Amino acid sequence: MKVLIADDDQISRMITKAAVEQSGHECIVAVDGDSAWQLYKEHSPEAVVTDLMMPGLNGLDLCRAIRAAEEDSYTYIILVTSHGSRKDVLAGMEAGADDYVTKPLDPFSLHIRLLAAQRITSLHADLARYRSALTEQARTDPLTKLHNRLKLSEDLGNLHRNDHDYCLAMVDVDNFKSYNDIYGHQAGDAALVAIATSLAGAVRKSDAVYRFGGEEFLLVLGEQSTASAGAVMERVRSAVAALRIEHSGDPDGILTISAGVSAFTDGHRAGTEQLLREADLALYAAKASGRNRVTL
Ligand code: GH3
Ligand code: MG
Ligand code: MG
Ligand code: MG
């Protein structure tokens, strides 16, 4: 572990440092509470061994500052108290410390506490990884691996909050019901994956592609105008057609998509629901006028 030591007394500092190193850990040493806080932010140590009484930021302040700053990580905090008085220990634990040792420091006492620290911090690291994997999974469509609607509503919320211009493109696969009927559901699934990959590959890194529903996708494009979003979508449409996935039930003989575009720009700042409706209406027009096309 990376262990931060905070003590204003030079002798105590050296004793603590020797004990921590003897336990096989890496040391970062601070001469008071303020520099301990700076070093904490700089190095994110797994454990902190801190004196209670220090000028400036004291041990209790340091505990509170660390606990307030923690998000996904957990820092195991061990207080070094000269008195070992119940009152000091209670205040320390209430401020966020996990354990304490008394001065004069017994290296063995510190060693066994650092073993506990290691176990607790690695458990917290596992939990943080698990939590972030779940967060990711909850926002991913399992078939296509695209973002799902939960992620879409979060992203649209952020775009609106930041007042950024963007365009929406609602995409629907043409005659897909008959594709399933002719080629089977499994082939249908494989075609959806191929189309999803093609959509994601045809837009810029800053644009985002979501699976909106069964064979419907939504693209969020960081475009300034409907016209330029239309040009992007025309490229996307031809990229899907270029896959040349055979579909005998389609007039073109291949799987194609239709798309409808709406825009959140200076002239038009409608709400999310309204923009989705507008993109859907444009999509409906694309379908009605013959499919395999983009409508603004
Ligand atoms: P249109 O050109 O008007 O969009 O015709 P369509 O046949 O694509 O439209 P419709 O909405 O009637 O059919 C959509 C079909 O998409 C119905 C459903 O079986 C299929 N579908 C939806 N989700 C999935 C999926 O996850 N896998 C597969 N294989 N098919 C799906
Ligand atoms: Mg002191
Ligand atoms: Mg549909
Ligand atoms: Mg369809």
| pLDDT tens, position by position, 45-100 | 999 999 999 999 999 999 999 999 998 889 999 999 876 688 999 999 999 999 99
The reply to whether 26 belongs to the active site is no
Please name the residues in contact with 177: beta carbons below 8 A apart, sequence gap of 6 or more.
none
| Interval 86-141: pLDDT, tens | 899 999 999 999 999 998 999 999 999 999 999 999 999 999 999 999 999 999 99
Nearest CA to ligand 1 atom 13: 177
Residues 276 and 264 sit within 8 Å (Cβ to Cβ):
no
ipTM: 0.97
Entry pTM: 0.83
Q: Can you tell me the mean pLDDT for 34-45?
A: 97
**Which position among 26, 70, 215, 216 bears the catalytic label?**
215
Neighbours of 166 (CB within 10 A): 22
Q: Which atom of ligand 1 is nearest to the CA of 213?
A: 23
The helix/strand/coil state of 268 is: strand
Nearest CA to ligand 1 atom 21: 214
- Pocket of ligand 1 from Cβ distances under 6 Å: 143, 172-178, 180, 185, 188-189, 192, 214-215, 287, 291
